[in-house]
Chains A and B, each alone.
Chain A
Amino acid sequence: MDATFASIIAAAAPLVYAAVGEAITERAGIVNLSLDGSILLSAMTGFAVAFTTGRVGLGFAAAAGVSALVALLVAWSGISLRLNQVAVGFVLTLLAAAVASYQGEGFVHQPGPSVTPRPIPVLADIPVVGRALFGQNLSVYGSLLLVAAAGWFLARSRPGLSLRAVGERPEVAHARGINVNRYRYLAALVGGALVGVGGAAFSLDQKLGWSDGHTAGFGWIALAIVIFGGWQPLRVALGCYLFGALQVVALRLQSRIPGLAQILPSIPFPLMIFALLLVNSAGLRRLLARSHRVSRWLLPEAPAALGRNFVP
């Protein structure tokens, strides 16, 4: 049981980085649809740099940088060129995937470096959750910390509040003296860098090495989880873990029931749609209307200005 928990937390780590990163970006009103291409490109870059230099940390840094660059392109074309962010994101997805495939040719199926496990003594021996939370490596610890930090940042901190206002009603933020487009650039950069870390967490930790189409559409899954997770880091992370759990289960059952491995990982989505339907039902809404906090958590709204460029 301990081992299962631990492997779920670990398997979901790349997805957590990408989805929480995208949630931060979208909370500021920028939709970075290039996610799937960015993850591929950064997975390749991370592995290639770590392979060449022999240093895993450098691989992560390079991956973050490359992905932040793609996000910067999306933000710049939206904010400064007033282009449609969705269109630009799509094009960049294809472009980044193509670049990854071409540049990664020399690294396909090469054995390379990976993140070293760093279990924390004593704490890792706590029953049930010990191994899952404290028996991992830095990449996985980072993903756990990120969820807590991002949740706290958005809900409690002043810049987090301003960032949410920027994505909700930029006119209001502007009227309160907040530099809307600076926040949007920063959110795109930070979110993009996190997506890059997710890519590197793939090729240097969870699915070692590089091959064409290495990340198998995880970018799209991350984008979907951001929506189902209501743009809230904790909920988004829960979606990622649910997804990770089904992956682990599918892997274990693969030998016994062939075919299940293909279907099982896509089950979270119909499940989430069903949950949303349930939560949106009139009866439950009325029930929830009594508690602001609970209803805000259960009935999230998309940032109202998502994808809408703002001209001060």
Chain B
Amino acid sequence: MSLLIRNVTKRFGSLVANDNIVLELEPGALHAVLGENGAGKSTLMKLIAGTLQQDAGEIIMNGQAIPPGSPAAALTAGVGMLAQEPLVCLPFSNRENFRLGSAWDLEEATQKLRQQSQKIGFRLHPAAITRSLSVGERQQLEMVRLLARGIRLLILDEPTSGLTGQQRDQLFAALRQLATEGLMVLFVSHKLEEVNELCRTVTVMRRGKVVGETTLPKPEADLVSLMFEQAAPTQARAPIATDGSAAVELSGVDAGYGRQGIAGIDLAVARGEVIGIAGLEGSGQGALLRALSGQIALRKGRLAVSGRDLTNRRLREFRKQGVAFLPGGRLEEGLIPDLSIAEHLELANGTRFLIDWDHARTRSQASIDTFRIKGYPDTSVDALSGGNQQRVLLSLLPPKLALLVMEQPTRGLDVESAAYIWNRLLERRRDGTAIVFASSDLDEILTYSDRVLVVFDGRVIASRPASDLDAEQLGTLIGGVLAA
């Protein structure tokens, strides 16, 4: 049993998500696929598993091309995928989920579930309701099911994001054992240390293309430099207009949970300072940004904005103190899809019971002009492009801010939009607004921040002036290896 991916291409509109991908796996292969967000890894995995259909090329299992675009056909051919979020019905019992889609009767399914989970050392109670299982156990259930259906290739897409360390070790042990029996494993992850620990070969993808293949383990810095494009030389930046007083201070902060959380964070951001947070995805950036902006509660430690203690105060008080947060999911967390630009402005700033729509339209036309948004006051925001959505979000920010916290502020934007947005943001520094942002774009971090924080496993492992860093050094730091 071997897998051959021959010249597979997948387009979404004008975006080429997978460009002429070639990949080959031998029986027993433990193979990783690495790449930053949007590199096309998940798309490729979905093509192999049949949940997406390629535009060109073939996926061949053991000499036979798999009919594209059918998960059932892929399963018949011996391909099973463990999705990021396990595909199970939560109100069902484990054995019902195990049985769903198979030809087994209930007793047969119960028996097979017992045997298969015993074989790889998982403890799954057949009659237990799947909802009562942790995410890791639900994954185990899916894995046991796929193995019982006789798959020869197991695809794992970011399988460890919801797991505890112990569950992860258990998963890896099982995968190693199965590989010795000839199972092929395709492992997608952002986490280099895991890739190094589990896999023996790796394919690196960038912008839909395969840009490298190598054997593992390798120093993490080497992998990072394969994953990220070489950064352009950084531009000179204006000196900080700061009086040295702190806009925000964190001391001894724990927040969030599990592998996405942060622990023991001490951080002071000066007025007018721009801080870029770099790190592999899921290293705690999200929790750090949300803790800073009062979106999530602190489990430990204190937080002060402009010298005032706001630890676990209501979001309203953060806003009163001039703290704003621009989330990464624009349409999920930032904007309301069906509402127009004028309605958003009114929602953000309006105070009266009755809305004067003529006035609202005039005002939103003014912000449309200032922020050069390609749209009209009555355009609903989901009809706008990503760049224009981000501009709408910016236009909603109150004029005076003490702290602006942003997640991936220019993700998915073209160069022109990104530069425009950053110019508008940096203007705010003159009023003393501090900016903290996280980005997976190292260029962006090096270009616009005064200071770079590197997070790893929920901790800040480095804090350096951006002028002392180049992309290569930053890449090394991101991999979790301290340079000095």
B99 near A296: Cβ-Cβ < 8 Å: no
B91 near A296: Cβ-Cβ < 8 Å: yes
A158 near B105: Cβ-Cβ < 8 Å: yes
A173 to B101, CA, bound (A): 7
* Number of B residues, CB within 8 Å of A: 23
A177 to B75, CA, bound (A): 9
Q: List 14 A-B contacts (CB under 8 A).
A: A161-B100, A164-B92, A165-B100, A165-B101, A169-B87, A171-B87, A172-B89, A173-B100, A173-B101, A177-B75, A177-B101, A292-B93, A292-B132, A296-B93
Residues of A within 8 A of B103 (CB): 158
B71 near A175: Cβ-Cβ < 8 Å: yes
* Residue of A whose beta carbon sits closest to that of B87: A172
Chain A proximity mask over B46-81: 1 for CB below 8 Å, otherwise 0: 000001000000000000000000111001000000
Q: Does A256 contact B (CB under 8 A)?
A: no
Q: Does A301 contact B (CB under 8 A)?
A: yes
A168 near B92: Cβ-Cβ < 8 Å: yes
Which residues of A, 219-264, contact B by the 8 Å Cβ criterion? Answer: none
Residues of A within 8 A of B71 (CB): 174-177
Q: A158-B105, A165-B100 known; A175 and B51 CB under 8 Å?
A: yes
Per DSSP, chain B at the interface is loop
A201 to B88, CA, bound (A): 40
Residues of B within 8 A of A162 (CB): 100-101
9 nearest interchain CB pairs? Answer: A176-B101, A177-B72, A168-B89, A175-B71, A172-B87, A292-B129, A169-B89, A165-B100, A301-B91
Q: Does B127 contact A (CB under 8 A)?
A: yes
* Residue of A whose beta carbon sits closest to that of B131: A301
Given A158-B99, A169-B89, 16 further pairs, Cβ under 8 A: A162-B100, A162-B101, A164-B92, A165-B100, A168-B91, A169-B88, A173-B100, A174-B71, A175-B71, A177-B71, A178-B100, A292-B93, A292-B129, A296-B129, A301-B91, A304-B90
A164 to B92, CA, bound (A): 9
Residues of A within 8 A of B75 (CB): 177
* Residue of B whose beta carbon sits closest to that of A167: B89
Q: Which of A165, A178, A289 is within 8 Å of B92, CB to CB?
A: A165
Distance in Å: Cβ of B148 to nearest Cβ of chain A: 13
Q: Does B106 contact A (CB under 8 A)?
A: yes
Chain B proximity mask over A50-93: 1 for CB below 8 Å, otherwise 0: 00000000000000000000000000000000000000000000
A295 to B91, CA, bound (A): 11
Q: Does B16 contact A (CB under 8 A)?
A: no
Q: Does B96 contact A (CB under 8 A)?
A: yes
* Number of A residues, CB within 8 Å of B: 23
Residues of B within 8 A of A289 (CB): 132
* Residue of B whose beta carbon sits closest to that of A168: B89
Chain B proximity mask over A147-180: 1 for CB below 8 Å, otherwise 0: 0000000001010011011001101111111100
Q: Does B128 contact A (CB under 8 A)?
A: yes
Q: A156-B106, A162-B100, A165-B100 known; A292 and B89 CB under 8 Å?
A: no
A156 to B104, CA, bound (A): 12
Residues of A within 8 A of B93 (CB): 292, 296
Residues of B within 8 A of A177 (CB): 70-72, 75, 101
Distance in Å: Cβ of B79 to nearest Cβ of chain A: 12
Q: A175-B51, A177-B75 known; A292 and B128 CB under 8 Å?
A: yes
Which residues of A, 6-60, contact B by the 8 Å Cβ criterion? Answer: none
A172 near B100: Cβ-Cβ < 8 Å: yes
In this complex, the member of A175, A292, A295, A304 whose beta carbon has the largest number of chain B beta carbons within 10 angstroms is A175
A293 to B91, CA, bound (A): 11
Distance in Å: Cβ of A112 to nearest Cβ of chain B: 45
* Residue of B whose beta carbon sits closest to that of A296: B129
Distance in Å: Cβ of A297 to nearest Cβ of chain B: 11
Q: Which of A156, A176, A293, A301 is within 8 Å of B100, CB to CB?
A: A176
* Residue of B whose beta carbon sits closest to that of A175: B71
A254 to B100, CA, bound (A): 52
Which residues of B, 84-135, contact A by the 8 Å Cβ criterion? Answer: 87-93, 96, 99-101, 103, 105-106, 127-129, 132
